Amino acid sequence: MLLPMKVLGLVLPVLLLLGTPAIAVEFKGQNIDGQKLPARAYYYATGGVYKVQVSFHNKRATIYFDDGNQTTIQLNQQVITDSNNIEGFGKLGQYPLNRTFSVGLVYDNNWLGNSDNQLQQSNPLDGLWKISLE
């Protein structure tokens, strides 16, 4: 009886992995996951445009800034049809777990050009990014 349980314990995880569909970001029919690409990122919360590098993984994009900071966003689409209009959502310092939840630290936006004397108001577009590949 112990042997069939061990076999089931080894086979079941393999079957689950085989049954899970591979999700990758595609552009022009090609998987672009894992590649670091030059891009420009527009952050709706600040109105700033930043020269960055971006890498994709599943339905997420990690944006790498020149100063060493980075943020990960949840993409609105998995298949990119327009390389100048890749939108996603993610607040600075947060890592998206799924469409609803994220974890991380709360950043102030000073390193992105906000000044302390600006009124801190809630922005409905806070967290929305638009990426353009170069």
Q: What is the DSSP string of 94-134?
A: EEESSSS-EEEPPPPGGGGT--TTS-----TTTTEEEEEE-
Domains belonging to the chain, first-starting first, are 26-98+125-133 (2.30.29)
The mean pLDDT of 22-31, rounded to a whole number, is: 84
Tell me, what's the pLDDT at 91?
76
Task: Give yes or no for a contact between 71 and 61, defined as CB atoms under 8 angstroms apart.
Answer: no
Give pLDDT, residue 127. 87
**Tens-digit pLDDT profile for residues 102-128:** 555 555 555 555 555 444 555 667 889
How does residue 20 score in pLDDT terms, banded at 50, 70 and 90? very low
| Distance separating alpha carbons of residues 2 and 40, to the nearest angstrom | 57
pLDDT on residue 125: 74
User: How far apart, in whole angstroms, are the C-alpha atoms of residue 130 and residue 73?
Assistant: 10
Q: Rounded to whole angstroms, what are the CA distances from 56 to 6, 70, 101?
A: 37, 13, 19
